[in-house]
């Protein structure tokens, strides 16, 4: 069975540093090599205008995959060690080198349907080659 993973860019507020980052997230926990580099993190909205039910939730974030990503994360003051949108090239190279394939047809479908939400935007869909 093939699983489709959706890569998103998502605005994340780090309350410890009181900064916003645009991090890379997934729709579900992946199989394969990528699984080692994912972690569940709790997201709390800094906005007092949002309803209580939607103020905190969990997402699947991607940890820095390579030394290059970790170094660039530290240079951008992202000491959370999460991949940001600026490291999209590193992430794409990683999935290509680890038997994942990008599916442009599904990507276009998700972009047409899900581009309404400003906090979370689909980047592309990919699958693990088996």
DSSP string spanning 45-82?
A: ---SSS-GGGSEEEEEEEB--SHHHHHHHHHTT-TT-B
Give the model confidence (pLDDT) of 69-122 as tens digits.
Answer: 444 444 454 456 899 999 999 999 999 999 999 999 999 888 777 655 567 889
Quote the CA–CA distance of 44 and 54 in Å, as a whole number: 9
Q: Distance between CA 49 and CA 45 in Å, rounded?
A: 9
Per-residue tokens: 83: 């991949």
Q: Give the tens place of pLDDT for each residue, 9-67.
A: 998 888 788 888 899 999 999 999 999 999 999 887 666 555 555 566 789 999 987 64
Specify burial of residue 125 (Cβ count, 10 A radius: 0-12, 13-18, 19+).
buried
- pTM of the predicted model as reported, rounded to 2 decimal places: 0.82
Q: How far apart are CA 124 and CA 92, in angstroms?
A: 10
Length of the chain as a residue count: 130
Q: What angle do CA 48, 28, 19 make, to 5 degrees?
A: 35
């Amino acid at each position: 069975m093939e699983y489709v993973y959706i890569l998103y860019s998502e605005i994340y507020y780090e309350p410890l540093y009181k900064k916003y980052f645009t991090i890379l997230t997934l729709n579900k926990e992946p199989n394969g090599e990528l699984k080692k580099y994912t972690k569940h993190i709790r997201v709390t909205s800094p906005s007092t205008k949002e309803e209580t039910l939607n103020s905190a939730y969990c997402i699947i974030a991607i940890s820095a995959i390579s030394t290059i990503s970790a170094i660039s994360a530290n240079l951008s003051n992202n000491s959370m060690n999460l991949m940001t949108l600026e490291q999209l090239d590193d992430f794409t190279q990683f999935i290509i080198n680890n038997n994942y394939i990008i599916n442009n047809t599904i990507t276009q479908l998700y972009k047409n349907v899900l581009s309404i939400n400003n906090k979370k935007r689909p980047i592309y869909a990919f699958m693990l080659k088996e």
